[in-house]
Amino acid sequence: MYRTTNLPNTRIQVADALRGIAVAGIILIHSCEHFNLYWSGLSLDRAIIPALEKPVTDFMWWLFAGKMYTIFALLFGLSFYVQSDNQAQRGNDFTGRFTWRMILLCIIGMVNTAFYNGDVLVLYSILGLLMPWLGKLPTRWLWAIFAFLVIQPFEMFSLLSGIDLHISTESWDKGLYPVLEDGGFIDSLVASLRYGQPVTLAWYFNSGRVTQTLSLFILGMLLGRMRMFYDEPGNMKKWLIAMCTCLFTAVVLYFFPIGKDGTPLRMMTSLWYNFAHTLAMVSATVLLWYSSKGFRRVIGKFSVIGRMSLSNYLLQSILGSMVFYSWGFCLYREVGLVYGLLAGIGIVTVQYIFSYLWLRHHTHGPVEWVWKKLTWIKLPL
């Protein structure tokens, strides 16, 4: 059984900045994908400068794809730890309240799904139900579970047994994407609510992200227990070791990929690469945050978005679907990837201005405020 150290869990500004970076990065990569309609192929001949499409695609996928959601997941685990430990220090069991909080998050996720089927909040709410129970375990047990999940057990099973665990989404895809390409607003919402989560959850499973997401939840909780995001004695040395180790691992896996494309082995090593790349970025950010005022001043701007991460995540789905889907401006038919990236930068700019103005008068984002108020309503728990 884990016991709290009774040390204060003050607000972690570098975590706010990292969360803001993750949200902004998610918006940019989604915009490059035209909020999942990039794959239709209808926009590939609409490039602003054809020669830029491939290098920009390669750079965006190298920097953001599979890395931003990992930062988001890591910080979800950290946030759970802070909330749970604060309640433990008051003598309260957070299990029932956090379970209710995940039910509310699932509802918010379904609202998000109605606009954009690439939602991750429903998956977070499902896996989040495990967190209060995992949080009761001793630290050494959590490290063991984390290590097991990082191995990617489903992909390892497929590799060793030859059994394909892939879930087909063909019938759901046919019910969803043609509507998003040509349907009206109501048709798109209905199709997204009907098919969006089956398509998305199957994709998360097929891509190995279910187990990786849970492993990152646990790692975030463990880093919270270790108080790694505070500038305390010994932490910067640990972050430096983590950064060097993860950077070396990422470089090796990037330049010397293991396994053939489409095989379980390649999927496993790709997930390990994304994991190492992400932790190298997080480690470098924390190190620079506590060692450079100039870095804090620049990167700290993302804290505005990060403090309203849930509101901005929901807003990016509304704005992005309006920009790219047929019920809105239908730009998926008109623009290539670079234009899509420029649209994403515009969305991030709008969200920054909105967040800055909102937080001048409020302590929480609008969705965060509702979520918090509903979390703490009186329940027979």
Report pTM: 0.96
The answer to whether residues 311 and 356 touch, using CB atoms and an 8 Å cutoff, is no
Mean pLDDT of 303-307: 97
The answer to whether residues 323 and 343 touch, using CB atoms and an 8 Å cutoff, is yes
Check whether 317 has a pLDDT greater than 70. Answer: yes
Pull the structure tokens for residue 31.
Answer: 């915009």
Check whether 41 has a pLDDT greater than 60. Answer: no
Task: Quote the pLDDT of residue 379.
Answer: 63
Smallest Cα–Cα separation from 52: which of 254, 348, 339?
339
Task: Quote the pLDDT of residue 18.
Answer: 98
**Whole-angstrom distance, CA of residue 69 vs CA of residue 204:** 12
Let me know if residue 2 belongs to a domain: no
Task: Quote the pLDDT of residue 334.
Answer: 84
Residue range(s) defining the domain that contains residue 302: 13-226+238-375
Mean pLDDT of 352-366: 97
Give 42's pLDDT tier (boundaries 50, 70, 90).
Answer: very low
Mean pLDDT of 95-112: 97
**In the 3-class helix/strand/coil scheme, how is the chain assigned residue by residue?**
CCCCCCCCCCCCHHHHHHHHHHHHHHHHHHHHCCCCCHHHCCCCCCCCCHHHHHHHHHHHHHHCCCCHHHHHHHHHHHHHHHHHHHHHHCCCCCHHHHHHHHHHHHHHHHHHHHHCCCCCHHHHHHHHCCHHHHCCCCHHHHHHHHHHHHCCHHHHHHHHHCCCCCCCCHHHHHHHHHHHHHCCHHHHHHHHHHHHHHHHHHHHHHCCHHHHHHHHHHHHHHHHHCCCCCCCCCHHHHHHHHHHHHHHHHHHHHHCCCCCCCCHHHHHHHHHHHHHHHHHHHHHHHHHHHHCHHHHHHHHHHHHHHCCHHHHHHHHHHHHHHHHCCCCCCHHHCCCHHHHHHHHHHHHHHHHHHHHHHHCCCCCCHHHHHHHHHHCCCCCC
Name which residue leads in pLDDT, 268 or 381: 268
From residue 80, give the alpha-carbon distance in Å to each of 11, 52, 102. 13, 42, 11
The answer to whether residues 111 and 193 touch, using CB atoms and an 8 Å cutoff, is no
Let me know if residue 206 belongs to a domain: yes
Give 165's pLDDT tier (boundaries 50, 70, 90).
Answer: very high
The answer to whether residues 299 and 13 touch, using CB atoms and an 8 Å cutoff, is no
Smallest Cα–Cα separation from 370: which of 107, 92, 95, 121?
107
**Whole-angstrom distance, CA of residue 49 vs CA of residue 277:** 30
**Whole-angstrom distance, CA of residue 16 vs CA of residue 23:** 11
Let me know if residue 381 belongs to a domain: no
Pull the structure tokens for residue 372.
Answer: 């918090």
What's the domain count of the chain?
A: 1
Let me know if residue 211 belongs to a domain: yes
The answer to whether residues 21 and 71 touch, using CB atoms and an 8 Å cutoff, is yes
Mean pLDDT of 76-93: 96
Let me know if residue 284 belongs to a domain: yes
Task: Check the CA dihedral 301-303-304-310 and report its sign.
Answer: positive
Task: Quote the pLDDT of residue 43.
Answer: 47
Let me know if residue 27 belongs to a domain: yes
Let me know if residue 3 belongs to a domain: no
Smallest Cα–Cα separation from 325: which of 134, 149, 117, 119?
117
Cβ density class 67-80: b for 16+ within 10 Å, e for less: bbbbbbbbbbbbbb
Let me know if residue 94 belongs to a domain: yes
